[in-house]
Each structure stands twice: as structure tokens, then as C-alpha cells.
Amino acid sequence: MSNIIKRLETQDWKDITATLHDRGFCVVDQVLTEEECNQLIRNYASPDLYRKTIVMERYRFGSGEYKYFKYPLSTLITAIRQTVYTHIAPVANKWMDVLQTGKTFPDTHEELLQQCQTAGQDKPTVLILKYGVGGFNTLHQDLYGDIYFPLQIVLFLNEPGEDYTGGEFVLTEQIPRAQSKANVLQPRKGSMLIFTTNFRPVKGSKGYYRVNMKHGVSPVHNGNRHTLGIIFHDALS
């Protein structure tokens, strides 16, 4: 646990913050070690770790499978969730301020979870996703209830070009009165992507306006692709 916290604390959070304000997402390389990635993949076959399995075809979410972890989460996942939240909560609060939403988020992740529990959202939303050949994820947003944090992260557990081809991470931006913009990313194994859950502010000539964003995964051509998704708010079910 101390190693992952040290790796996260030594990142250039000033630069990460600036990138999040500018683009709504940021890739941070070499957050997880190869062994940590491999262990998370091996744990996919351990049913005791999970509370629910979703076969995506059943719900027309795409093609693939994902599993929601149950509490208590591992020390690795808990450390990532708590440490990253502390650094990006000021970004979320700045966004809420410039968009004049009237919302604020607490300084610590524990306080956010307390707010979720008060609202009846007490199920963990951390999940691991697996895609095989042809697997994909339709564009969506991970909200789960009235209480939701506007940023989330994905950690990439396989090496693109070696373990799989295709399977790019896609972020779309719906700019008001304009065509959508697509950002196509393929971070390396062990990388962390921080990105907006729902919307982000963009400064225009008359102040800030809201740009809605969705994310998904393009079809996998070969191999298997695993990712760890860490959402900071909990769910109703």
C-alpha cells in the first residue's frame, strides 16, 4: 500500500490538474507495476471478490463482461481511490464553481462515501472489465445515483499491440450547437486515465459553458483487454 501511495504522491499533480482543466482528461503513465496488473487480471477468476457480474450483451451495453468488487476493497484499490480523490477534488470543486452549480465536494474520499451512504448509495462501484475479440463498450456515463463525483479513473492492465489490438478508449465531447468531438486513446499497461464522468466546463467569450462527455471502448480486434475502473461515488444497487 505504501508503494502505490508513494507512486501517486510523486506524480506532477500541478501538471495533471492543468491538463484536466484544459482537456477534461489526463493520462498518467507507470502508476501500476506489471505484477500489480497481472495480479488484478488473475483475480478476475476469484468470485469471492465481487458482488455482481454483468454480461454486457444482455443489456445492450456492448460485448464483454465486467464485475463489481464488494467491500472491503483491497488495500491497493483503496489506496488509489483515496489518494487520487484528494488530488482531484479541488478540480471538481473548481468546475462546480465556474459552472455555478451550487455543489461542492468534501476534501476526503471518506466524507464523500458518507454522503453516498446518507443518500442510500452504499454499493461499491469499482469494477474490472474484460473484453475478448469483438468486445466493445457503448458510449455512456457512470452516474449510479443522485450523488456522483464528476471525475473517475481507469487503469490499463494489458499492453496494447502485444496483448490485444483495437480496443481504444474513446471520449466524446458534445459541444453546444456543434458537432461532437472524439478523443481516441490507447494508454500503455500500468497507466492511469483520469477523465470526466459527465461534463466539464469550457471557457467561452461570455463565460464558462458545459460540455457533456461520454466514454466507451472501440472493438477489440485480437487478444484480451482488461481494465480496472475506479468510480469515486457508490451506487444504489
Digit-coded pLDDT (tens) for 52-97: 999 999 999 999 999 999 999 999 999 999 999 999 999 999 999 9
Whose grid coordinates read 508503494? 3
pLDDT for residue 179 = 85
CA distance 147 to 236: 10
Q: What percent of the chain has pLDDT over 90?
A: 95
* Grid cell digits, residue 237: 444497487
Whose grid coordinates read 499497461? 189
Query: Which DSSP category does 61 fall into?
Result: S
Could you give the C-alpha distances from 188 to 29, 147, 227, in angstroms and in order?
A: 7, 31, 11
CA proximity to 195, closest of 62, 23, 15, 32: 23
Strand ranges inside the chain, DSSP E: 25-28, 50-55, 62-63, 65-69, 127-131, 136-140, 151-156, 164-166, 169-174, 181-185, 192-196, 199-204, 207-217, 220-223, 225-231
Residue type, 1: M
Please give the helix or strand (H or E) that residue 14 lies within, else none. helix 13-23
**Cα 32 to the chain's mean position, in Å?**
15
pLDDT digits (tens, 9 = 90+) for 130-154: 999 999 999 999 999 999 999 999 9
pLDDT digits (tens, 9 = 90+) for 163-196: 999 999 999 999 877 788 999 999 999 999 999 9
CA proximity to 49, closest of 34, 30, 69: 69
